[in-house]
Chain A
Amino acid sequence: MSTATAVLLDELAADQAGNPVPERLREWAAVGRPQLRRAGLLRGAAQAGTVVWAGGLAWAAQRCLGAAGGAPGPAVVAPALVTAAGVALRAVLLSAGETAAARGARTVREALRARLIAAALPAHGPAPAGLDDTAPAQAVDAEVDELSDWLTEYVPARATMLLGSGLTLAAIAWRSWFVALLVLAATPLLPANLKVIGLGTQTAVRAQLSAIRSHRARLLDHLRGLPTLVGLGAHDEAAGALARHDREAAERTGKVLRIAFLSTAWVELLITGTLAVVATYCGLVLLDYLRLPVVPDRMSLSDALFVLVLVPAYFAPARELAAGYHARARATAAAGLLAPLLDTPGQTVPVVRPPAGRTATPPGVRLEAVTVRHPGRPAPALDGVSVDLAPGRFLAVTGPSGAGKSTLLAVAAGLYAPHGGRALHLLDGRPVPADPGRVAWVGQPAHLLPGTVRENLLLARPAASDHDLLDALAALGFTDLLAVLPQGLDTPVGERGTGVSSGQSQQLALARALLRDAPLLCLDEPTAHLDPRAEQRVLSALRTLSRGRTVLLATHSPALLTLADQVVTLDQGSIR
């Protein structure tokens, strides 16, 4: 169902509940607050331009009236210039206000993005658990932008309204206190409109909102089931049912909106109605027809025109504020998605940074009754697993997919803090908390970053020369690799390692591990998806790499198992 409709209904429901903007949004906006406030004030001040414009127009009319009959001639040049100057002043101030608002919004967005990036790529401690990899990208790319309209339209709108409407009202009062009073009397009716209209529709609005949400769930369910539905030949029936449901929901929504739109109509009626009343009043006074106690019955044409054109200007900021509700609802929805990403509990692991690189002897690894639970899954990924690996030994972990092999490796590398138990590295027999700084990791599939092959290798040792890189490749028996790559070390690597084959990227990842020269080597299915020839190359490279290092290897491959000193079989999170 339409998000705009959902937002509109949400807005109605929220308004009735008196739901304030979440505290989080306010907190995020604090960085840009000064600029946003300036934007509000500038926009409010732009109303002064409107006042000048009205003054010029009224002046011109008065001059012409004075020149009765004949052409006023050059007498109107000055008023015309004042009119134009008023419009120009408004234009410039509004533009400055927009720039300030955009700058403020940019500040807020950049700060928020920086926080999201820091949360997605923590420099210390383990990786954020249970996050879908696309969630941070979606947040940084799309959801942060949902705040923009709220920041530029809604946040400064209050200041705009106070200053702008205040200025206009003062100008009106200067020329005619009675019209000012009329306009002021209409004002309290503005904010009441949603509540007045909403009282009768609250239940319908709520019901509709949940209907819209359930339709979204249905749609998602349908998309998930598409292959099955097509396989059953039932797709057309299901699509038809979906469309029927969609249509019913749309019809009901139409009924609710008929009432909901009355609130907007009420605001419009108030503005146009006030304008009509003021016009009639001024007209009668000018005609000298009005004889009432207290009410002033004298007014010049200049006064009358001036106040008349300022009436819509007085209401304009309030109208913009009302339009900003949409932006607010959208920002609130985005905030709901962003907050959990920023709140990912930073699992604190003492940040001891031992010098990376080789120590005299490789470390041992000890896991003591390690338990890991992935959020949203009832069964633990690892259930009280204990492993003891002596320094320099080679441990292979095997078992069906989903048994917890990768999790075990991540815990042993210190990339993931277990929920129960401890993960330790043994340095010369002394147990210290597991730290990824001691580890060289080769994942499945081997990940290369966009850039060139050289840049990817240099990640491991930024100071290495091309010569060092070639040496590392040669040591692993990959001398022919660069000859195969179209531009050698300068071969570009695209998104998700496109440009090099999976076997080639695996070889590069192994070379990276050698360059890194870390004493503990963790390999997660290094030969999955490789053909037998490529597997053979990895196998022989592993023989070189494992010399003088402690190795943890997760694999299905029987060939790799032959390298291991020790084999552990995992099944559903425990050692079999």
Chain B
Amino acid sequence: MRPGRAWPLLRTAASRRALLAGLLPAVAGELAGAALLGVSGWFLTTCAVVTLQANTTWSWMYPSGAVRALALGRTGLRYLERLVNHRVLLSAQVALRARLARGAARLTPRELRAQGDGALLTRLTTDVETVAGLPGAVCAPLVAAVTTAGVVEILLLWAMPVLGAAELVVWAAGVGCARRAHRRARARLADAAEARAALRTVLLGSRAAFSELRCLDAVPQARRTVTEAVAAVEDAEWAAARAERLGRLALRLLAALGQASVLLIALTTTPAQPVAVVVGEVLLLAAGWDLLERLPRLLQHLTRADDAAARLAPLARESEIPEIPDEPEKGEGESADRSVASVAARGEASDRSPDRPVRGLEAVGLPLPGSCGTLTTTLSGPGLLLVTGANGSGKSTLLGRLAGRLPAAAGAVLLDGTPVHEAPARTVAETVTLVEADDWLADDTVAANLRQAAPSAGTDALQAVLDVVGLSALPLDASVGPVGRRLSQGQRRRLAIARAVLRRPPVLLLDEPVAGLDRPTAEALLAALPRVLPDTFLVIALQDQDVGLLDTPDAAPTAVVRLGQVLEPR
């Protein structure tokens, strides 16, 4: 069996000791189960034999006690195994998920959006679970089955070498059957996966083009195509399942062969084995084959885990973000002090000490959507760049490019000489903060949302920044609801702006900060920003009709970029 991809990924999340702790009770439990059956049969037969021989020296107490002990032991061991393996599952899941969630941050926003929330969530839940469930769902039963079969085989070899050798041949045939069935099923499953991809393509395409298809009267035809794709998937999967079923049938028939050969070989050769021993052997064998019957299913589960691990691979890549030496690791215990330390470090960065160069961005020949002009300017130190244009004229795109969230199509945005979308996320975060038009808010309290920007900020600081954006009436412990839905649009925007203000970034980009605000509030907000962020270069994108709000002496733009010429005909 190939080691696959799932195992190495699992090993990063679960210690060898934890894995072993799950294996031991599983193996012991299955051994006890097989022994229970074997010893019971041997015990009964011996009872009959001693009665027949009128042997009064034989004590029934020990064997009968062993049967009871095995019964209890098996139950206890199985309980223990479940518990241990579930604990391994839970802790491996937590570890894997933490690692992958951190890995997800390395995806660019564009990649993130392309993945979709649903797909990422599925990966972080179902796929992680499949990989983390490997010890309990595959390793424990697999090792237990193989060990039990091995122990039975050793006992047979020890009791009667000829018998053992014969049985070994049958076992080997069984394992060969299981592997062959698995290989066949795998090939079919690969076909099925292809058919599934085709099905998705056809269905998604037909749904996307539904209006056109409907108008072209081509919906029945599209439906036929989708139905054919469904049939192809079912056919391929049917073939895979058939291979697995045949594998199981072969294993079960081999079990018949194995048991019959034990009876025949042990009882017809001279000297014959005692009948009690033979009965015990047959029952042990039956238990062993019962366990091996699961082999095809376990192998399939392993394949699934490998596939899940392959899907997780892009998230699980080792971190490429160079860690800043004094950057705190994510630990459980010390995280509180450490976040204080990290804020202190961040505070230094923003308290621009005189010997530290002023950080900023440089735009070189950045094309402006909707016009043939380009933008070449330096964004650093105090200043205000106004970006205007109608809806859809490319304001958000321009801001996204300045923030490094989108690569520039032509020209460049440079941060310390490197293109900003290639710069390490941490460096970018220290220089520039973008507040999108509908920026995300965590489903948490107002204070928690603000503390994302300044983890150790006191209540006073938070209240002060809320005053700046005109949200003084909003209680700090108010919950904002999922995606901030409990706040109004204007409140959401201002809260996101307040969060950005707390970071005191060298460059602050605001996308339509006053949409949904009444005129006095909007004017107050725009006037307050340059006042509280005297060292920050502000880039504000406004709709044409809002440009008048900047006509105050405090907030006169130092430069204006007008995008597009799209008219709004009346």
Taking CB atoms, residues of chain A closer than 8 Å to B387 are none
Q: Is A496 an interface residue (CB 8 A)?
A: yes
Contact check, A90 vs B252: say whether CB atoms are below 8 A apart.
Answer: yes
Q: Which residue on B lies nearest to A102, using beta carbons? A: B241
Taking CB atoms, residues of chain B closer than 8 Å to A234 are 452-453, 455
A110 with B230: in contact, given A243-B101, A301-B44, A305-B45 (CB under 8 Å)? yes
B204 to chain A, nearest CB (A): 5
Q: Is B51 an interface residue (CB 8 A)?
A: yes
Give Cα distance in the complex from A448 to B86, angstroms.
48
Taking CB atoms, residues of chain B closer than 8 Å to A217 are 443, 482
Contact check, A450 vs B112: say whether CB atoms are below 8 A apart.
Answer: no
Interface segment, one of B148-156, B269-277, B361-369: B269-277
Taking CB atoms, residues of chain B closer than 8 Å to A287 are 47, 50-51, 60
A-contacting residues, B195-244, CB 8 Å: 196, 198-223, 225-227, 230-231, 234, 238, 241
A270 to chain B, nearest CB (A): 9
A512 with B568: in contact, given A64-B278, A224-B440, A286-B47 (CB under 8 Å)? no
Contact check, A221 vs B245: say whether CB atoms are below 8 A apart.
Answer: no
B155 to chain A, nearest CB (A): 18
Q: Given A70-B272, A117-B227, A140-B203, list of 14 further CB < 8 A pairs?
A: A83-B256, A91-B253, A94-B249, A95-B248, A217-B443, A226-B112, A265-B79, A305-B41, A312-B37, A459-B216, A460-B218, A494-B201, A496-B208, A512-B216
Give Cα distance in the complex from A279 to B198, angstroms.
58
Contact check, B436 vs A228: say whether CB atoms are below 8 A apart.
Answer: yes
Contact check, A64 vs B216: say whether CB atoms are below 8 A apart.
Answer: no
Taking CB atoms, residues of chain B closer than 8 Å to A5 are 86, 89-90
Q: Which residue on A lies nearest to B76, using beta carbons? A: A265
Contact check, B455 vs A233: say whether CB atoms are below 8 A apart.
Answer: no
Contact check, B94 vs A247: say whether CB atoms are below 8 A apart.
Answer: yes
B281 to chain A, nearest CB (A): 11
Taking CB atoms, residues of chain B closer than 8 Å to A413 are 211, 215
Q: Is A127 an interface residue (CB 8 A)?
A: yes
Taking CB atoms, residues of chain B closer than 8 Å to A73 are 267-268
A71 with B268: in contact, given A227-B109, A280-B68 (CB under 8 Å)? yes
Q: Which residue on B lies nearest to A248, using beta carbons? A: B94
A80 with B264: in contact, given A117-B226, A226-B105, A450-B202 (CB under 8 Å)? yes
Taking CB atoms, residues of chain A closer than 8 Å to B428 are 231
B-facing mask of A395-420, CB < 8 A → 1, else 0? 00011110000000010010100000
Q: Is A576 an interface residue (CB 8 A)?
A: yes
B-contacting residues, A417-470, CB 8 Å: 436-437, 439-443, 446-450, 459-460
Q: Is A537 an interface residue (CB 8 A)?
A: no
B-contacting residues, A237-258, CB 8 Å: 237-240, 242-244, 246-247, 250-251, 253-254, 257-258
B-contacting residues, A504-555, CB 8 Å: 509, 512, 516, 518, 522
Q: Which residue on B lies nearest to A131, using beta carbons? A: B207
Q: Is B356 an interface residue (CB 8 A)?
A: no
Interface residue range, chain B: 35 or more
Give Cα distance in the complex from A72 to B266, angstroms.
10
A484 to chain B, nearest CB (A): 22
Q: Is A184 an interface residue (CB 8 A)?
A: no
Most buried by A among B133, B256, B439, B455: B256
Q: Is B82 an interface residue (CB 8 A)?
A: yes
Q: Is A180 an interface residue (CB 8 A)?
A: no
Contact check, B78 vs A268: say whether CB atoms are below 8 A apart.
Answer: yes
A-contacting residues, B113-169, CB 8 Å: 116-118, 120-121, 124-126, 129, 132-133
Taking CB atoms, residues of chain B closer than 8 Å to A239 are 98, 101-102, 105, 330
Q: Identify 11 residue pairs between A and B in the complex whose beta-carbon atoms are under 8 Å apart, listed by A's number.
A: A91-B253, A120-B203, A123-B219, A133-B208, A223-B121, A224-B440, A226-B107, A239-B105, A440-B215, A442-B212, A567-B569
Q: Is B536 an interface residue (CB 8 A)?
A: no
Contact check, A231 vs B104: say whether CB atoms are below 8 A apart.
Answer: no
B442 touches which of A140, A225, A288, A518 (Cβ 8 Å) = A225
Contact check, A410 vs B211: say whether CB atoms are below 8 A apart.
Answer: yes
Taking CB atoms, residues of chain B closer than 8 Å to A309 are 37, 41, 283, 286
B404 to chain A, nearest CB (A): 9
Contact check, A117 vs B223: say whether CB atoms are below 8 A apart.
Answer: yes
Taking CB atoms, residues of chain A closer than 8 Å to B286 are 309
A7 to chain B, nearest CB (A): 10
A531 to chain B, nearest CB (A): 12
Most buried by A among B118, B207, B391: B207
Contact check, A127 vs B211: say whether CB atoms are below 8 A apart.
Answer: yes
Give the top 6 A-B pairs by smallest Cβ distance, nearest first.
A447-B209, A233-B429, A91-B252, A84-B260, A87-B256, A243-B98
Contact check, B71 vs A64: say whether CB atoms are below 8 A apart.
Answer: no
Taking CB atoms, residues of chain B closer than 8 Å to A322 are none
Taking CB atoms, residues of chain A closer than 8 Å to B260 are 80-81, 83-84
A216 with B125: in contact, given A136-B203, A459-B216 (CB under 8 Å)? yes
Give Cα distance in the complex from A269 to B219, angstroms.
59
Give Cα distance in the complex from A436 to B40, angstroms.
76
Contact check, A102 vs B442: say whether CB atoms are below 8 A apart.
Answer: no
Give Cα distance in the complex from A87 to B75, angstroms.
27
Give Cα distance in the complex from A449 to B60, angstroms.
78
Contact check, A236 vs B330: say whether CB atoms are below 8 A apart.
Answer: yes
Taking CB atoms, residues of chain B closer than 8 Å to A264 are 78-79, 82
Q: Is B263 an interface residue (CB 8 A)?
A: yes
Taking CB atoms, residues of chain B closer than 8 Å to A494 are 201
B222 to chain A, nearest CB (A): 6
Q: Which residue on B lies nearest to A109, using beta carbons? A: B234
Contact check, A569 vs B217: say whether CB atoms are below 8 A apart.
Answer: no
A230 touches which of B200, B425, B442 (Cβ 8 Å) = B425
B75 touches which of A102, A228, A265 (Cβ 8 Å) = A265
Q: Is B498 an interface residue (CB 8 A)?
A: no
B-contacting residues, A204-236, CB 8 Å: 216-236
Taking CB atoms, residues of chain A closer than 8 Å to B279 are 57, 61, 305
Contact check, B45 vs A301: say whether CB atoms are below 8 A apart.
Answer: yes
Contact check, A134 vs B204: say whether CB atoms are below 8 A apart.
Answer: yes
Q: Is B388 an interface residue (CB 8 A)?
A: no
Give Cα distance in the complex from A65 to B46, angstroms.
10
Q: Is B488 an interface residue (CB 8 A)?
A: no
Contact check, B440 vs A228: say whether CB atoms are below 8 A apart.
Answer: yes
A-facing mask of B419-444, CB < 8 A → 1, else 0? 00000011011100110100111110
Q: Is B566 an interface residue (CB 8 A)?
A: yes
B475 to chain A, nearest CB (A): 21
Q: Is B259 an interface residue (CB 8 A)?
A: yes
Q: Is B184 an interface residue (CB 8 A)?
A: no
A137 with B86: in contact, given A83-B263, A247-B94 (CB under 8 Å)? no
A411 to chain B, nearest CB (A): 12
B94 touches which of A141, A246, A275 (Cβ 8 Å) = A246
Contact check, B259 vs A227: say whether CB atoms are below 8 A apart.
Answer: no
Taking CB atoms, residues of chain A closer than 8 Å to B441 are 225
Contact check, B71 vs A84: say whether CB atoms are below 8 A apart.
Answer: no
Give Cα distance in the complex from A124 to B334, angstroms.
63
Contact check, B220 vs A450: say whether CB atoms are below 8 A apart.
Answer: no
Q: Is A261 an interface residue (CB 8 A)?
A: yes
Give Cα distance in the complex from A218 to B444, angstroms.
9
Contact check, B215 vs A439: say whether CB atoms are below 8 A apart.
Answer: yes
A124 to chain B, nearest CB (A): 8
Q: Is A68 an interface residue (CB 8 A)?
A: yes
Most buried by A among B47, B89, B234, B443: B47
A284 touches which of B60, B275, B328 (Cβ 8 Å) = B60
Contact check, A250 vs B125: say whether CB atoms are below 8 A apart.
Answer: no
A416 to chain B, nearest CB (A): 9
A72 with B272: in contact, given A239-B330, A558-B567 (CB under 8 Å)? yes
Contact check, B52 vs A65: say whether CB atoms are below 8 A apart.
Answer: yes
Contact check, A242 vs B98: say whether CB atoms are below 8 A apart.
Answer: yes
Q: Is B359 an interface residue (CB 8 A)?
A: no
Q: Is A272 an interface residue (CB 8 A)?
A: yes
Give Cα distance in the complex from A1 to B569, angstroms.
53
Contact check, A226 vs B391: say whether CB atoms are below 8 A apart.
Answer: no
Q: Is A10 an interface residue (CB 8 A)?
A: no
Q: Is B486 an interface residue (CB 8 A)?
A: no
